[in-house]
Structure 1
Amino acid sequence: MRIVSWNCNGAFRRKFDRIGTLNADVYVIQECENPATSTAEYSDWSGDYVWAGKSDRKGIGIFVKNGLSVQALDWPNYGLEQFIPVRIADRINLLAVWTKNSANMAYIGQFYQYLQHHSALLDPSVIICGDFNSNAIWDKRGRVWNHSECVLALSRLGFDSLYHHAMAEQQGLETHPTFYLQRNMGKAYHIDYFFAHVAMYGSAPSITVGKAAEWLAISDHMPVLLTI
């Protein structure tokens, strides 16, 4: 199975053909429009999907291809933003992530709280992926909900960052950026992740990050592709 996570930086109705060239089975897209209220072409491409957002112009969509099915799971969000749990092909649970800066808590703090509420649901069938807006380089001393604490909490549940496992790199020392602030090559960061349980991915997950030369013209984020 091939799964792509990509923050499309909006206007996905004009970009779905491009990401489709990756020939994935599942597309997890942050900052995309609601297909139900967008163009006919985008709606046709969407097929079977789950989408949620505060505005029809910007949310998270999970789109499945190649005969797969997807349905939303009834996990309460407790006002945290933005998380969509789904069941794919009746065998994989996927948690789509796009952390937001809101009154509850900023970015990785939102994920930390979500993790505390739902840790009992994170069994080996779950894949967690998306735009976390976070990296270990921004950890603040003494803060329990920083990036490294979240990675540690996931590790205790048996989950690993698949990029770091595949590339043998440490958190905060990534050599493949997934985000270029203001599309500036000098402001490159790794903030998009896949986490999965060791029982699912085995010893050799295949994960690739898109290159700026190919993607920066249409988004400030690079697509991350997992093959399991």
Structure 2
Amino acid sequence: MANESVRLVAWNCAGGFHRKSKVLDAHAPDIVVLSEASKDCVSLIGGEASGAWIGSHPGYGLAVLGMNGWKIETIETAVEESLFLPVRAVRGSEQLYLVGLCAKKDGDYVAPTLRALTRLSAFISEKGAILAGDFNQSVKFDAREVLPDISGGCWMSLKASALSARGIIPATRNSVRRHRPATSIAGNKDMAPTSITHLCREDSRFRQQGWVLTMPLSRPD
């Protein structure tokens, strides 16, 4: 079995992607999970980019984009009310299963996220899918012993329940406290990322941050 690598970016662009799309150029991503993006985000990248988008408004939604020859296929029913989008990314004989997400609030962020994970549990477990996107969680809330009654408790609750029960562990940890980063990437222990870096860490124009993760990808013989 030959090993290739794939570069995955998860980024909450906080709207205005038409002004920010060049940020991706420096990272040469293969697959991008883009939160709070407009419906035309695929065409804004140009070239032979492939993608899928869901949202309740053309100016605000969630996209999974494929670049460098990767094609995005929707193969499972999306949980549109919570912005959870399961896809298969394919390039030749290579493939990767992924759930892009941008957790939406319904009272809090925990309950709708758990509902979406339950609906997609078979896809996540059977395909070994990666979860990537905006969980609406914050490192400053993660550190507290008791779950606060605010959005930041989502990640702690997920780690203790739905994610850990499915063998899913975080590949990224938010470490920049001066902002409120919410984007994360999680998967099973076989992800074995070879590098993890911040996206836009020092660029004050794009305070919504993200992650760039490179990991090996096994290609079937």
TM range (shorter): 0.7 to 0.9
> In 2, Cα distance between the equivalents of 1:146 and 1:96?
16
1:192 paired residue number: 183
> In 1, Cα distance between the equivalents of 2:169 and 2:115?
19
Name structure 2 gaps, 5 residues minimum: 1-5, 216-221
2:98 paired residue number: 94
Relative to its length, the structure with more strand (as a share) is 2
1:175 paired residue number: 175
Q: Match of 1:63, as an amino acid?
A: L
CA contact (8 A) 2:39 2:58 kept: yes
Aligned pairs (5 A) from 1:75-94 = 75-77=77-79, 80-89=81-90, 91-94=95-98
> In 1, Cα distance between the equivalents of 2:37 and 2:48?
11
> In 1, Cα distance between the equivalents of 2:64 and 2:95?
16
For residues 46-96 of structure 1, the C-alpha deviation after alignment (integer angstroms, 9 at most, x for no partner) is 72111111111111111111111111122352x631111111016211101
CA contact (8 A) 1:129 1:195 kept: yes
For residues 186-221 of structure 1, the C-alpha deviation after alignment (integer angstroms, 9 at most, x for no partner) is xx334211111112x13x54211235422x21x331
2:46 match: secondary structure: helix
Q: Match of 1:14, as an amino acid?
A: R
Q: Match of 2:196, as an amino acid?
A: I
Within the candidate set 148, 170, 175, 1:161 is matched to: 170
Confirm whether residue 227 of structure 1 aligns to residue 214 of structure 2: yes
Within the candidate set 120, 123, 133, 2:136 is matched to: 133
Q: What is the identity percentage for the equivalent residue pairs of Structure 1 and Structure 2?
A: 21
Q: Residue 60 and residue 211 in structure 1: after superposition, are their counterparts in 2 closer, same or farther (change >3 A)? A: closer
> In 2, Cα distance between the equivalents of 1:11 and 1:122?
31
> In 2, Cα distance between the equivalents of 1:106 and 1:43?
33
CA contact (8 A) 1:2 1:24 kept: yes
CA contact (8 A) 2:83 2:101 kept: yes
Q: Residue 107 and residue 114 in structure 1: after superposition, are their counterparts in 2 closer, same or farther (change >3 A)? A: same
Quick one: higher RCO (CA 8 Å, sep 6+), 1 or 2?
Answer: 2
CA contact (8 A) 1:80 1:114 kept: no
Name structure 1 gaps, 5 residues minimum: 165-173, 178-184
> In 1, Cα distance between the equivalents of 2:10 and 2:154?
22
CA contact (8 A) 1:82 1:97 kept: yes
1:210 paired residue number: 199
> In 2, Cα distance between the equivalents of 1:109 and 1:222?
24
Q: How many Å apart are 1:44 and its aligned residue?
A: 2.4
2:117 paired residue number: 115
